Amino acid sequence: MENKMSYTIKLTPEQMDETARILREGNYRRRTVEHAVAAAVGENCQIVLYKSGKCLVQGKGAADWITFTLEPQVLHEARLGYEDVLNPEANAPHMGVDESGKGDFFGPLVIAAAYVDEAIAKDLKAINVRDSKTVTTDKAMQDLARKIRTRLGDRFAVVAIGPAAYNRLYDKMGSVNRILAWGHAKAIENLLEKVPHCPRALSDQFGPEQQIQRALQQKGRKIKLEQRHKAESDIAVAAASILARSAFLTAMDKLGQAHGVALPKGASDKVRAVAGELVGKKGGAVLLETAKCHFKTTDDVLGPLGKTRKSENLPPAPVKKVFVRKSSSSA
């Protein structure tokens, strides 16, 4: 069995109830965790049942708790160590695609694609490759990305759309999903040049698959495209998510150094404060080179400084579409 200390298992409502009962009545120390139905500390492990149906088990004793408690008493089947048998498609040759920076005001939008086959998938699992959102520090992210790149060799592709290019694309396309589709298609095609016989590309659900299909050029038209919610559970998508976040973090560092300021992630009050300082020193045009200008954050930054998009020659705010329900009665 692989040496792993974190597991996520999707449970049915009935299985959730039974697991909560076990944690309530057994020899466990109760915990309080946000968005959790139940949480407890067991022998060398922590168990959290989320309202979504996800059961997260972490710690040195995680595998033992799943093997000797969850599987026989709740799942009534052996899953741990049998993932390859239960879901053989997960290790079959395919590429995963994911993005980073979509919700960050500063910095680029980065899309990465990573190829796996059975041997690569096994090796990536052994180094605990998982969804980038579960990697808690930037250093850990960069370390894991380095290991992934070493194992993949050239079997990955990264497409970084810097703020200036992103703003031009948004002005032209008018939709984040259309930019994402273009970026996904570009990453898929770039990786197909390195692994031309890859049969399938998997990504998280963000819009109609036809958007990516339309964006693909000739050499990408034959690949099978698949989107699904929570695709990061797939090892190839997880690897792509880490490669994308790594490239985003590196780009943010370089962008911050170029402008003499540490650029914070996200779209928080801290982000608005730093953006306000930048605009105060360099004028609103600096946002075209550092930020995604369609964000409402742009207006939140300019307003208190007595500036507008028009006065700073920035793109106008996106127009929100209003759908009017037609009356069924005739005039």
> Do 73 and 17 share a structural domain?
yes
Distance in angstroms (rounded) separating the CA atoms of residues 234 and 121: 10
> Do 221 and 156 share a structural domain?
yes
Instruction: Give the model's pLDDT for residue 133.
Output: 84
Q: Domain span at residue 172?
A: 89-252
Q: Is residue 259 part of a domain?
A: no
Are the C-beta atoms of 9 and 55 separated by less than 8 Å?
yes
> Do 207 and 116 share a structural domain?
yes
The model scores a pTM over 0.75: no
Q: Is residue 138 part of a domain?
A: yes
Whose tokens are 């049942």? That residue is 49
Q: Is residue 327 part of a domain?
A: no
Q: Is residue 257 part of a domain?
A: no
> Do 171 and 190 share a structural domain?
yes
| 98-137: burial string, b at 16+ Cβ within 10 Å, e else | bbbbbebbbbbbbbbbbbbeeebbebbbeebbbbbeebee
Q: What is the CATH number of the domain that holds 55?
A: 3.30.310.10
> Do 227 and 149 share a structural domain?
yes
Distance in angstroms (rounded) separating the CA atoms of residues 283 and 305: 10
Number of compact structural domains in the chain: 3
- 50-53 CB contacts, 8 Å cutoff, 24+ apart: 53/10, 53/11, 53/12, 53/13, 53/16
Instruction: Give the model's pLDDT for residue 125.
Output: 87
Instruction: Give the model's pLDDT for residue 81.
Output: 61
Q: Is 177 left (phi over 0), alpha (psi -120 to 50) or beta?
A: alpha
Instruction: Give the model's pLDDT for residue 86.
Output: 44
**Short-list 206, 11, 227, 219, CA closest to 103:** 206
Instruction: Give the model's pLDDT for residue 229.
Output: 77
Per-residue pLDDT of the chain (331 residues; tens, 9 = 90+): 344 678 888 899 999 999 999 999 999 999 999 889 999 999 999 999 999 888 999 988 988 898 889 988 998 877 666 455 445 567 789 999 999 999 999 999 999 999 999 999 989 988 888 888 888 899 999 999 999 999 999 999 999 999 999 999 999 999 999 999 999 999 999 999 999 999 999 998 776 667 787 777 666 667 888 888 777 888 999 999 999 999 999 999 999 999 999 999 999 999 999 999 999 999 999 999 999 999 999 999 999 999 999 999 999 998 765 545 554 444 3
Q: E strands of the chain, at which residues?
A: 6-10, 29-30, 36-42, 45-50, 54-58, 94-100, 109-116, 156-161, 200-204, 224-228
Instruction: Give the model's pLDDT for residue 23.
Output: 95
> Do 283 and 207 share a structural domain?
no
